[in-house]
Structures are given as C-alpha cells and as structure tokens.
Structure 1
Amino acid sequence: MLLSGESSAFELIYKHNFHSLFQYGMRILDDEDAVGDCVHNLFVKIWENRKNLSPVVNTRFYLMSSLRNIIFNYNTQQNRFAKREIDDTNYFDLKFTLESDMIRKEEVNEKAVQLAAAMNKLTPRQKEIIYLKYFEELSYNEIAELMDLNVNGAYKLAARALEALRELLKIDKTLLLALLAEAKYQSFF
C-alpha cells in the first residue's frame, strides 16, 4: 500500500515504528536532536522514494537497518567517528536502568535489579545483541546483517552474552530467558 503512495499506510508505519526506532537510535548516538533528525530523514527518504522501493518482508528490520546506516553517515559527516571502524568498546550504548516509577514501587523484583546490574557489565556488542534478539525480537539472520556478522558469529555472540549473564546472575538459562522476557514486557530497561 505504501508503495502505491497511500499516505495512510505511511502514517501507520510511522506511528507503529517511531518509538522503537528512536530508542534504537538513542542507543547508538545518544543525542536526542540528532536521532530525531535521523529518524525524520529516514521517513522523508522513504516517502520520497516510495515508488522505487521494493517490497520488504520485515518492515521493522528494514527500518532499523536503514536508520543505523543514516546514523553512521551522520556521524561520519559530523566527524564524530572520523571514518574509523566501529569497535566493540564505544559504539552501542545501552544503559540498563529501572524506570523511575518502577523504582518507587516497593515490590520491585530483586532479580530484575540484578539483571540490570549484570547487563551493565556486558560489552557493548553483547548488550546490542541481547537488545536486538530479546527486546526487538529480530532473527539471527537479521541481527547478523545489522551487526555486520555472519550468522554463526551472531549465534556465538548471543550465546556468549547469555552465558556471561547466566554466570553473573548465577541462574540457569531458562530462568535467564524468562527474566529477559519479563524485562521486555515490564519496561524495566
């Protein structure tokens, strides 16, 4: 429908994905104005090029991948990364903190607090893969493409991140996966 120029389809895609895209962009750039501009530019480009776009299987993946490229281009233009390769230490910032209203509640799950602390001990790449897999629910193929890994590398990175969390929390993998699912739906992070 968007490809045929229907503004209502475009508006629906925008409304459905803006928040998620903005949150993802903030984890990469940490500049609200710049991320807002990048998300805006993404949708402007989509609207302007709608007649030349090919149908996509996963709209959210397409949007996240496109936004990531726009942000990296923005960074290059702003000389923030000076066209150097992205390394594991400083490009994906995902700070895991409890929402302020959750802090005020007396019944905050102790495991959620421990999970947040453990997540902060992961490498940026490990944080990113946990975010993409368990919060954005992307497939390993999509994650591999987005993070510039091969699929086996994505599986290995995810396994290492989960194992690091499991060891930090001293819990079994099943409970860890349940905590991650709970964190996503309770907006702990």
Structure 2
Amino acid sequence: MKANPGNNQFWSRLLQGDRQALNEIYRLHADALFRYGIRLLHDENAVQDCIHDLFLKIWSNHARLSDTDNVRYYLISSLRNTIINYRNQQGKIEHQELQERDGFAMDFTVESQYILKEEQTEKAQRLAEAMNQLTARQKEIIYLRYFEELSYDQIAEMMDLSKKGTYKLSARALEALREILQVEKAVLIALLVSLKH
C-alpha cells in the first residue's frame, strides 16, 4: 500500500498535539478499521469499543509516538493488538493467539460491496464459495494482502510470522483457492483485485 501524503500530514500534526488531526485520521480510517475488526471479534459493539480505546490510547500517548510512513498499517496493526488484548481479558483466547475456532471471519457473498459489475456475479460467486473454504489465517492473509494492500513485511509483523512463513501462508492460501476454482494463478489474482475495486 502506498503511503498517502495527506495521512502522513495528519499524523505529523497529531504528534504535535493537534486534536483535529486525530479526528481526521479517525474519519479517514474508522470504516476500514471496523471492517477488519469485525472479522476478528464478531461483535459490533466490542469492535467499536476497541477502536475507541485505540484512538484514546493514541491521543494519550501522542507525544511518545513515532512517525510512520503508513498510517493505515499502523492503525490496523494496533487494532489487532487491541482486540487480542480485549479477547484475552474476556478469556476467549489463550497465549495471545487468534485461534482457528474463534479467528478471522471473511464471509463473502455475491451482494458484497466489492462486487459492483453485474457480469462479475458468476465469477464472484465461485470465488466467494472458494474463500469460505479457507482457514481463518488464510482468509486473514488474503484480506490483508489483497484488500488492505499491506506488504509481506507488515503482514509478518502483524500476524507474528517470519517473512518466509508469511510468504508460505499466502502461497498456500492462493494455491488452495486456485485448486478449488481450477484457474491459473494470474486469473485468481485478477479476481481478487477486482473484488477490492
């Protein structure tokens, strides 16, 4: 994901104590954070609470925060940690890990907001069915890589994987999708990109 100069300007202002900059960052990223958070926590109110807790923590610590060239990555990564802490406090997971039984939900439907063109409906339906057969971690890496456009280094840090492990998980997820759909890898990538746009 390319850095957005406007986002970086707001972040720099936030570090200087500009509350309006915090409001702008929230306005720009709250929807994306909610879409990601609900896939991890499956509870709208709890996700909203975690997002609000995250922004309160950012404001409380703004003088000690570092600069970042990718605000979206920073926020998603921080929200993931906030949700893990929340779930640990609720006793729903152990060892700081998101478990498969309680993990990343990515239920695609033909009515998904990502599917805008009528002629894509049949392909989208097939992809939706295939995506729903992946493991929670495979769904999460596909989401982070192709929908949020994070780099493998960023995903590795977020998911607590080595860079090599991140590539392997991504490759396995793509291969599983490719086998289910019986398409070439390039066609699969094109389908994923078309869902985002």
State the TM-score, normalized to the length of structure 2.
Answer: 0.87
Match of 1:40 among 32, 39, 52: 52
Distance (Å, rounded) in 2 between the aligned partners of 1:158 and 1:102: 21
Q: Which residue number in structure 1 is paired with residue 19 of structure 2?
A: 7
The Cα shift of 1:82 comes to 4.9
Distance (Å, rounded) in 2 between the aligned partners of 1:170 and 1:29: 32
Aligned pairs for 1:54-69 (under 5 A) are 54-69=66-81
Q: Which residue number in structure 1 is paired with residue 34 of structure 2?
A: 22
Q: Which residue number in structure 2 is paired with residue 90 of structure 1?
A: 102
- In the alignment, structure 1 residue 126 sits paired with structure 2 residue 138: yes
- In the alignment, structure 1 residue 70 sits paired with structure 2 residue 82: yes
Q: Do the aligned partners of residues 180 and 31 (structure 1) sit closer, same or farther apart at CA in structure 2, a change above 3 Å counting?
A: same
Is the CA contact (8 Å cut-off) linking 2:85 and 2:96 kept in structure 1?
no
Is the CA contact (8 Å cut-off) linking 2:114 and 2:196 kept in structure 1?
no
Q: Which amino acid aligns with 2:58?
A: I
State the TM-score, normalized to the length of structure 1.
Answer: 0.90
Q: Which residue number in structure 2 is paired with residue 154 of structure 1?
A: 166
Same amino acid, percent of matched pairs: 55
Which of the pair is proportionally richer in helix? 2
Q: Which amino acid aligns with 1:28?
A: L
Structure 1 regions of 5+ residues with no counterpart?
Answer: none
Is the CA contact (8 Å cut-off) linking 2:156 and 2:166 kept in structure 1?
yes
The Cα shift of 1:146 comes to 0.5
Structure 2 regions of 5+ residues with no counterpart?
Answer: 1-12
Query: Which stretch of structure 1 is more off in the superposition, 15-24 or 52-61?
Result: 52-61
The Cα shift of 1:51 comes to 1.1
SS at match of 2:14: coil
SS at match of 1:109: helix
Q: Do the aligned partners of residues 112 and 33 (structure 1) sit closer, same or farther apart at CA in structure 2, a change above 3 Å counting?
A: same
Q: Which residue number in structure 1 is paired with residue 180 of structure 2?
A: 168
Is the CA contact (8 Å cut-off) linking 1:132 and 1:138 kept in structure 2?
yes
The Cα shift of 1:90 comes to 3.0
Is the CA contact (8 Å cut-off) linking 2:146 and 2:196 kept in structure 1?
yes
Distance (Å, rounded) in 2 between the aligned partners of 1:95 and 1:101: 12
RMSD of aligned residue pairs (Cα, Å): 2.0
Q: Do the aligned partners of residues 102 and 145 (structure 1) sit closer, same or farther apart at CA in structure 2, a change above 3 Å counting?
A: closer
Q: Which residue number in structure 2 is paired with residue 53 of structure 1?
A: 65
Is the CA contact (8 Å cut-off) linking 1:140 and 1:154 kept in structure 2?
yes
Distance (Å, rounded) in 2 between the aligned partners of 1:153 and 1:73: 24
